[in-house]
Structures are given as C-alpha cells and as structure tokens.
Amino acid sequence: MALYVPLAALDKGVVRLSGEISPGELGIELANDPCLRIERTFAYDVSVEKTGNELFLEGVIETTVDCRCVRCLEPFELALRLDPWTCVLPLEGEEAPPISHESVDLTPRIREDSLLALPQHPLCRPDCQGVSLQKSDSKTPQDLSDEKSRSVSAWSVLDQLNLE
C-alpha cells in the first residue's frame, strides 16, 4: 500500500502522517546488491502542507539496513535516518507525483530519497582494515627483495622489443 495524502485535507491546513511502511510497499528491491539488504519497515513522521501549487513535506524517515562491510565482509547494521527530511513536490508539470482518487502518492519521493541515502560502499567502521591475512609463508624481507631482483621486469622485456 502506498503512502497517500488527501488533497481535500490539505486545503484545510497541515496534515500530519506517521506510521510504518514496508520496503515492498515502497518498491525498494536490492536483490542485486550483496552488501545491502532492507527487510525492516520504514518509520515515518511527516507533516504535509499545501502552498499554492506545491506540497511542502517535512519530517523524519528511518529504518535499519542489514549490511556487509566491503572491506572485511563482516555483517553489521546501519541506522538509516533522514532527519530532517524535507521535500517540495509540484502538483503540476513533469515532476508532479501521481494523484489517485484525489490523493497524492508520496511513495515515489520517499523511495528515491531513501535509496539516495544508502551508502555505495558500506563500511562497518571508518578505520576498517579489511580481511586479515594469515601468514602462510615464512619468507623474510631479504628473501623477498632477492626474488624481486631475480625476476624480469615487464619493462625490461619491452626494452628488448625490436619494432623496426
């Protein structure tokens, strides 16, 4: 079910909407993203006011996102909170929201702003060092430098190339 606000109620003044809406009702699907999962409901507390041919929305939208760190691959939860969330919706023109049964559908804008607030590369913490590597080889730094000097550089092979 989408989130609607009746136009007739807006003519009388500010309308306050609060409740919860599921990710499915918002149309949020992240099936192709292995690092983000949104399965919990979105809580909203929004006031809507009509000013001329526009709607002014102001309030809070929040949920919890299940993430996997892109560096260490550990799961963690991220609190997604749009506070303060503000939006201006024109009632006419290309950017006008869908109107059905004399009510304005606010769902597309909430979905869009929520998706834009998601991290592109979720990190469990800013200083995450990534996957810890186990020491599988007991080579000393001297052994590694000897191997480097014995190996042939890709540039040296190109230096020997004769293009004439």
CA atoms within 13 A on the CB side of 60: 10
**Torsion sign over Cα 101, 61, 114, 51:** positive
pLDDT the model gives residue 134:
60
Show Cβ contacts of residue 84 under 8 Å, excluding neighbours closer than 6 positions. Answer: 58, 59, 60
Task: Break the chain into its structural domains and give their ranges.
Answer: 4-117
Asked whether the whole model's pTM tops 0.85, one would answer: no
Residue 135 has pLDDT above 70, yes or no: no
What pLDDT digit, counting tens, does each position of 83-122 carry? Answer: 899 999 998 888 888 888 889 999 999 999 999 999 999 9
pLDDT the model gives residue 70:
93
pLDDT the model gives residue 152:
59
Average per-residue pLDDT for the chain: 85
What pLDDT digit, counting tens, does each position of 20-47 carry? Answer: 999 999 988 877 888 999 999 999 999 9
pLDDT the model gives residue 99:
84
